[in-house]
Structure 1
Amino acid sequence: MAVYALVDCNNFYVSCERAFNPALEGKPVIVMSNNDGCAVARSAEAKAIGVGMGEPAFKLRHLVDSHGLIMLSSNYALYGDMSERVMSVLATFSPGAEIYSIDECFLDLDGMPVDNLTAWSQQVRATVRRWTGIPVSVGIGTTKTLAKLANRLAKKSKKANGVLDLSRDARWIEAALKQTPVGDVWGIGRQYAALCGVNGIRTAFDLTLQPDGWIKKTMGAVGLRTVMELRGTPVHTLDTAPSDKHTTCCSRSFGASVTEFEQVHDAVMTFASRAAEKIRGEGLVSGAVQVFAYTDRFRPDQPQFSLNSMIRLSPPTSSTPHIIGAALKGLKSAWRDGYEYKKAGVIMLDLVRPEDIPRDLFSPPPESGARPTALMAAVDGINGKMGKGAVGFGLVPDDAPWKMRCSNRTPSFTTSWDDIPVVKA
Structure 2
Amino acid sequence: MPGLVALVDCNNFYASCERLFQPELNGKPVVVLSNNDGCVIARSNESKALGIKMGDAYHLRKREFADWGVQVFSSNYTLYGDISARVMRVLGEFTPDLEVYSIDEAFLGLAGFGDPEGHGRRLRATVASQTGIPVCVGIAPTKTLAKVANRTAKKDLARGGVCLLDTEEAQTDALSKLALDDIWGIGGRLAPKLVALGITTPLELRAADPVMIRQRFNVVLQRTVLELKGIACLDLERDSPDSKTICSARSFGRAVERFEELAEALTTYVSRSAEKLRRQGLAAAAISVLVSTNRHKPEEPQFHATRHVRLTIATADSARLIRAALWGLRQIYRPGFRYKKTGILLLDLVPAGAVQGSLFLRPDDRRRVELMLAIDAINRRYGRDRVRFAGTGLERGWKLKAEFHSPRYTTRWDELLRV
TM-score range, shorter chain: over 0.9
Could you give the per-residue CA deviations for residues 349-373 of structure 1, whole angstroms, max 9, x where no partner exists?
11111222245x455121243x202
Residue type at the aligned position of 1:120: H
Offset of 1:241 from its aligned partner? 1.1
> What percent of counterpart residues are identical?
42
> Structure 1's 182 and 363: CA in aligned 2 closer, same or farther, altered over 3 A?
farther
Cross-structure match for 2:344: 346
Offset of 1:211 from its aligned partner? 2.4
Cross-structure match for 2:247: 249
The DSSP-based 3-state class of the residue aligned with 1:257 is strand
Cross-structure match for 2:94: 93
Cross-structure match for 1:202: 200
Is residue 145–residue 230 contact of structure 1 (8 Å, CA) maintained in 2?
yes
Is residue 294–residue 343 contact of structure 1 (8 Å, CA) maintained in 2?
yes
Offset of 1:199 from its aligned partner? 3.7
Is residue 127 from structure 1 mapped to residue 123 from structure 2 by the alignment?
no
Is residue 55 from structure 1 mapped to residue 56 from structure 2 by the alignment?
yes
Cross-structure match for 1:45: 46
Offset of 1:310 from its aligned partner? 2.0
Cross-structure match for 1:15: 16
Could you give the per-residue CA deviations for residues 122-148 of structure 1, whole angstroms, max 9, x where no partner exists?
111110011111000000010000001
Could you give the per-residue CA deviations for residues 39-84 of structure 1, whole angstroms, max 9, x where no partner exists?
0000000000010001100122122332111111000000011110
Residue type at the aligned position of 1:54: G
Cross-structure match for 1:163: 162
Is residue 124–residue 136 contact of structure 2 (8 Å, CA) maintained in 1?
yes
The DSSP-based 3-state class of the residue aligned with 1:173 is helix
Cross-structure match for 1:294: 292
Could you give the per-residue CA deviations for residues 67-123 of structure 1, whole angstroms, max 9, x where no partner exists?
1111110000000111100000000000100000000000000112x2x22221111
Could you give the per-residue CA deviations for residues 366-409 of structure 1, whole angstroms, max 9, x where no partner exists?
1243x202211221122122111111001555543320000100
The DSSP-based 3-state class of the residue aligned with 2:305 is strand
The DSSP-based 3-state class of the residue aligned with 1:159 is helix
Is residue 254–residue 402 contact of structure 1 (8 Å, CA) maintained in 2?
yes
Cross-structure match for 2:3: 2
Cross-structure match for 2:144: 145
Cross-structure match for 2:374: 378
Distance (Å, rounded) in 2 between the aligned partners of 1:285 and 1:250: 16
Offset of 1:281 from its aligned partner? 1.2
Distance (Å, rounded) in 1 between the aligned partners of 2:231 and 2:169: 16
Is residue 390 from structure 1 mapped to residue 386 from structure 2 by the alignment?
yes
Distance (Å, rounded) in 2 between the aligned partners of 1:268 and 1:257: 15
The DSSP-based 3-state class of the residue aligned with 2:93 is coil
Offset of 1:194 from its aligned partner? 1.2
Residue type at the aligned position of 2:36: N
Cross-structure match for 1:334: 332
Could you give the per-residue CA deviations for residues 167-188 of structure 1, whole angstroms, max 9, x where no partner exists?
2x22101111111111100011
Residue type at the aligned position of 1:326: A
The DSSP-based 3-state class of the residue aligned with 1:124 is helix
CA RMSD of aligned residues (A): 1.4
Cross-structure match for 2:77: 76
Residue type at the aligned position of 1:236: L
Cross-structure match for 1:364: 361
Offset of 1:348 from its aligned partner? 1.0
Residue type at the aligned position of 2:382: M
Cross-structure match for 2:400: 404
Is residue 179–residue 203 contact of structure 1 (8 Å, CA) maintained in 2?
no
The DSSP-based 3-state class of the residue aligned with 2:218 is helix
Distance (Å, rounded) in 2 between the aligned partners of 1:6 and 1:399: 44
Matches within 5 A, 1:186-201: 186-201=184-199
Distance (Å, rounded) in 2 between the aligned partners of 1:318 and 1:210: 48
Residue type at the aligned position of 2:30: V
Query: How many residues are aligned here?
Result: 418
Cross-structure match for 2:278: 280
Distance (Å, rounded) in 1 between the aligned partners of 2:185 and 2:356: 36
The DSSP-based 3-state class of the residue aligned with 2:253 is strand
> Structure 1's 233 and 404: CA in aligned 2 closer, same or farther, altered over 3 A?
same
Is residue 153–residue 162 contact of structure 2 (8 Å, CA) maintained in 1?
yes
Question: Quick check: 388-397 or 116-125, which moved more?
Answer: 388-397
Could you give the per-residue CA deviations for residues 324-362 of structure 1, whole angstroms, max 9, x where no partner exists?
111111101221111111111011111111222245x45
Question: Quick check: 75-84 or 173-182, which moved more?
Answer: 173-182
Is residue 356–residue 362 contact of structure 2 (8 Å, CA) maintained in 1?
no
Offset of 1:315 from its aligned partner? 2.4
| Structure 1 unmatched ranges of 5 or more | none
Could you give the per-residue CA deviations for residues 187-230 of structure 1, whole angstroms, max 9, x where no partner exists?
11112211223344332111112223432233322111100000
Distance (Å, rounded) in 2 between the aligned partners of 1:205 and 1:356: 49
Matches within 5 A, 1:201-220: 201-220=199-218
Residue type at the aligned position of 2:397: P
| Structure 2 unmatched ranges of 5 or more | none
Is residue 356–residue 363 contact of structure 2 (8 Å, CA) maintained in 1?
no
The DSSP-based 3-state class of the residue aligned with 2:268 is helix
> Structure 1's 373 and 389: CA in aligned 2 closer, same or farther, altered over 3 A?
same
Distance (Å, rounded) in 2 between the aligned partners of 1:332 and 1:342: 17
Is residue 252–residue 400 contact of structure 2 (8 Å, CA) maintained in 1?
yes
Residue type at the aligned position of 1:96: D
The DSSP-based 3-state class of the residue aligned with 1:61 is helix
Residue type at the aligned position of 2:124: R
Could you give the per-residue CA deviations for residues 17-43 of structure 1, whole angstroms, max 9, x where no partner exists?
111110111110000000000000000
**Match for 2:416 among 399, 420, 423?**
420
Is residue 276–residue 318 contact of structure 1 (8 Å, CA) maintained in 2?
yes
The DSSP-based 3-state class of the residue aligned with 2:390 is coil
